[in-house]
Amino acid sequence: MTATDLDDDLFSPAEGKPPYGLTTEDAWGNEGGRYRYPAPPDWAGRTPKPSATNPLGLPTWMRMTNLVSAFSDQERLQLWLTWKGMMGLRAGDGVLFDEWMAIDVESADPKTQSKWANEMAERARAMADGDAAGRRGTARHKMMDHYLTTGYETGTRAMRVQLRDAMAALDAHGFDVVRSEFKVWHPAAGGTMGTSDVEIMCRHTGQLGILDWKTQTRFWTWQEPAGQLFGYDSAPWTWQGPPDPTGRWVRAEPHTLVGRPGTKLAGKRVALVAHMPQTPGPGRLPVELHQVDLEYGRAVLETAERNVALRSIGRSQAVERMPAEHLPRP
């Protein structure tokens, strides 16, 4: 073996990022990434040119969760983020604050200052366990998907109690799981993608519906879950196959699930939420199934879409770019 051969073996280039998946691009300024996937067959919008970071020229799509968040009042969330950020600066004997003060922020341009400050704020919230609930929720989603896909249980003993309780609740209400963790595309806001947790079928009626795992201890509002589930339920396209060029968009099967007789939503179009609090035990709720009114969800999603469009106009710095119907009246 020559030295050149050895160098090739030791220093072969690392694999590039997968062409499909989540990116950090987000034209609306929300936290989190966007989906980078091909456009569905009936989409008439523009497609970006191939580039070094996007070799296939794939469009990026807003996340469904980001879209519906445009509906709600974010004041309470912002106050919580501020609280966790300030507590994080005090954690660990203030080591994060020392690191922040050691950075020559004043010499940087405003854009770089903003980038550094946001990165530090995110680290501070993590120091104060501000991301713990989200990470535990993600772990439970992963556990449920793994079980539904392979039949094998993972997780801690408490997590497995929740898994079995969730499956018992579905069985008691006559629901079978059709598939888990699948991508959908909706035309809202120029194209929005999401990952639906579960598609279920009622054994008694054959009706198809959408179910979402929710792990928070309490719901401040059902507005965003309703809008999110309506988006998943009414999405016309679903991804079939792996997240690479061998996969493709196919027409989604229409969902027909309606509310159970004897309930307030009897006969109305519904989706389901499986509420599974993160710490089951004495005094805690077991996993419970809740019906969600999809007509209300439609109103939420349409309002969120309108809010996103208005915010885009409002961010325009040049008045001459604002459509006449949105200009202030004299």
Q: What is the pLDDT of residues 103-146, one digit of tens each?
A: 888 888 988 888 888 888 888 888 777 667 777 778 888 999 99
Task: Find residue 17's DSSP bridge partners.
Answer: none
Taking only the tens place, the pLDDT of each residue in 185-217 is: 999 999 999 999 999 999 999 999 999 999 877
The pLDDT tens digits for 241-274 are 999 999 999 999 999 999 999 999 999 999 999 9
pLDDT tier, 28 (very low <50, low <70, confident <90, very high otherwise): very low
- Whole-number pLDDT of residue 156: 86
Res 184 pLDDT > 90: yes
Q: pTM, whole model, 2 decimals?
A: 0.79
pLDDT value at residue 6: 47
Q: How many CB atoms lie within 10 A of CB 294?
A: 27
Domain boundaries in the chain?
75-127, 157-313
Say what the pLDDT of residue 158 is. Answer: 83
Q: What is the pLDDT of residues 272-310, one digit of tens each?
A: 999 987 665 565 668 889 999 999 999 999 999 998 888
* Residue 30: per-residue pLDDT: 39
